[in-house]
Amino acid sequence: MAVTIKDIARVAGVSYGTVSRALNDSPRVKPETRTRIQRLAQEMGYEPSALGRGLATRRSKSLGVAVLDITDPFIAELVRAIDRVALDHGYSLILSHCGGDPERELAAIRLLRQRRADAIIVPDPRVADSLLLREPGDAPVVLINRRTYQYSVSTDNQAAAREAVRHLLSLGHTRIAYIGSRLNLTENPERLAGYQQALAEAGLVPPAEYLVEADGWPEGGQRAMRRLLALPHPPSAVFCFNDLTALGAIEAIRSAGLKVPEDLSVAGFDDIYLARYSSPPLTTVTQQSDRMARLAVEMALALIEGTPLPTQTTLPGRLVVRQSTAPPRKEP
């Protein structure tokens, strides 16, 4: 049978209210009495009721996380990291899977607030900043990879993309294409801008047909790569919006009887777990998912407590060079 506050009060020879106040570190209880009751509670195996504690503090000790698609490996890595950090702070997660529709994402945020999440974290959001700012609710919202929002933790997508394309240029590539994501209205423009900036620095202007939109998934990457391969002058290197797109592009290149990187170099973004095990291992940009998760949780907790915090944090990406990129094949 579970030990109750009344059991502790009976053994300690004090009132029920004194035990309750001591377990909540109330200054109304003498320090020596508070220490004795807390030690006794530990020895007796007392476990406080989360529901009761929530009613007393008006907090649920839970963080809501609204995700677009949990099958996206990068999102899954973020959620796992958020869960680890939240647990270290005594919080549990309430996970809501909402798909890529901004309206469903906003509905998920409302539902998490109804379920009394103390704060909400949204990785890779689609919902507009203006809608979030108008949305009523006590639970603050922290976004991951939305640099325009007031409470956000993001990767410097433009600088990281520029570094990836500079790497391709350093290998001698001048015909470099970009496969983007039409579904992503925040990170995709930033990564495209980094791609264009690197080429402009080298005095290059990519032809319009080298800019192809996909959907961020391997199948979309396959289709986009086939379009590039069908061009009269196909690229010698491709920078992709994310690793999933890059994996699809590699499959399309292989299906066409060509080799990576001998015939085409391919670079991605995210450094998902599978990137190092692709064939060949993928050159990509690492996002600091563990650090992003820690900072997002700490920002959420600071908002809950009403303590001062930096409202926006931007982290650098890091280029990881593997075997999917090499100097272009010399043309006769």
Sequential pLDDT tens for the chain (332 residues): 678 888 888 888 998 788 878 887 777 788 888 889 888 888 888 876 544 554 444 567 899 999 988 889 999 999 999 999 998 888 899 998 887 777 888 888 888 888 889 999 999 888 877 777 766 667 889 999 998 888 999 999 999 999 999 999 999 999 999 999 998 888 999 999 999 999 999 999 999 999 999 999 999 999 999 999 999 999 999 999 999 999 999 999 999 999 999 999 999 999 999 999 999 999 999 999 999 999 999 999 999 988 877 778 999 999 999 999 999 987 64
Considering the domain delimited by 62-153+289-316, tell me its CATH architecture: 3-Layer(aba) Sandwich (3.40)
Q: What is the pLDDT of residue 308?
A: 74
Q: What is the three-class DSSP state of 8?
A: helix
Q: What is the pLDDT of residue 57?
A: 47
Integer Cα distance of 229 and 193 in angstroms: 23
Q: Does domain 5-48 have CATH number 3.40.30.10?
A: no
Domain with CATH 1.10.260.40 in the chain: 5-48
- Region label for 93, one of left (φ > 0), alpha (ψ between -120 and 50) or beta (otherwise): beta
Q: Is the peptide bond before 218 cis (omega within 30 degrees of 0)?
A: no
Integer Cα distance of 97 and 104 in angstroms: 9
- Determine how β-strand 265-267 pairs with β-strand 62-67: unpaired
Q: What is the pLDDT of residue 43?
A: 86
Specify the fold of 157-287.
Rossmann fold (3.40.50)
The dihedral sign for the CA sequence 91, 94, 97, 101: negative
The answer to whether 264 and 253 are in contact (CB under 8 A) is yes
- Write out the H or E segment, with its range, that includes residue 214: strand 211-214
The helix-helix angle for 5-12 and 16-23 (nearest 10°) equals 110
Domain with CATH 3.40.50.2300 in the chain: 62-153+289-316, 157-287
- Determine how β-strand 265-267 pairs with β-strand 312-315: unpaired
Integer Cα distance of 264 and 327 in angstroms: 9
- Residue 210: closest CA among 197, 196, 198: 196
- Residue 112: closest CA among 133, 94, 132, 89: 94
Integer Cα distance of 190 and 295 in angstroms: 21
